[in-house]
Amino acid sequence: MDEGALVPILIPLGFFAMVFGIFYIRNRERMAMIERGMDPRAYKAQPAPYQNLKWGLLFIGAGLGLFLAYLLDYTVFAKTQEENEAIYFGLIAIFGGLGLVLSYRIEKKELYDTEHRK
C-alpha cells in the first residue's frame, strides 16, 4: 500500500481525535468538580503575567541556536560532505532551554523583589 494514500486519511483523523480528546477531558474535569460540590464557572484560568516573556525568550534562544548551527555547519563543518542535522536540533534545544532558564531567573528575581519591597 502506498504511504502517500494514508496521509489524507490520518491527518483529519488525528485532528478529530485531538479535538475530541480536549473536549472529553474538559467535560470530565467539570463533572469531577460538580461531584465534589464545586462550581466549575467559579474557576477561571489564572493569568500568567510572565507568559509572553517565557515564549519570547524561548523563541529568541531557539533562533540563536538555529543561527549558530547554520554558521557552524557552513564554516567549521564545511569541509565534510556529510549532513549535520544533529547540530541543528541540539543547538536549538540548548539555546531554547537557556532561554527558559533565563525566563525563570527573571521571574524569580521579580517575585523576590516584589515580596521584599512590602
φ/ψ region of 34 (left if φ > 0, alpha if ψ in -120 to 50, else beta) reads: alpha
pLDDT in tens, 46-87: 778 889 999 999 999 999 999 999 999 888 888 777 778 889
Closest CA to 87 of 75, 72, 74, 99: 72
Read off the C-alpha cell for 109.
Answer: 528575581
Residue 118 has pLDDT above 70, yes or no: no
pTM of the model: 0.62
Neighbours of 50 (CB within 10 A): 15
Alpha helix (H) residue ranges in the chain: 7-35, 51-75, 85-117
